[in-house]
Amino acid sequence: MISTHVGLADFVAEHNAGWVFDLNAVALKNAIELAFSQKEKIAHIRKTGRQLVDAHFGENVLIHHYVDMYANL
């Protein structure tokens, strides 16, 4: 659960990897209630979250990104 002000908010929303909320008390309350009610989504995130993070931000991905970036300099 992250606010729309966090840099990864679009990633989380795009991959259905959590709950994104506007940064105010009512929106946070609603997001918590929604998350609490979505047991299947929580189970899915627990099951696939690590693979999702590794696929997009894992060591090999970052190494190739930086090698390509420096090669293009």
Q: At 43, which amino acid appears? A: A
The pLDDT tens digits along the chain (73 residues) read 999 999 999 999 999 999 999 999 999 999 999 999 999 999 999 999 999 999 988 887 778 777 887 888 8
* pTM above threshold 0.85: no
Using CA atoms, how far residue 13 sits from 6, 18, 28, 38, 70, in Å, is 12, 7, 15, 15, 30
Q: How many domains are contained in the chain? A: 1
Domain range for 37 is 2-71
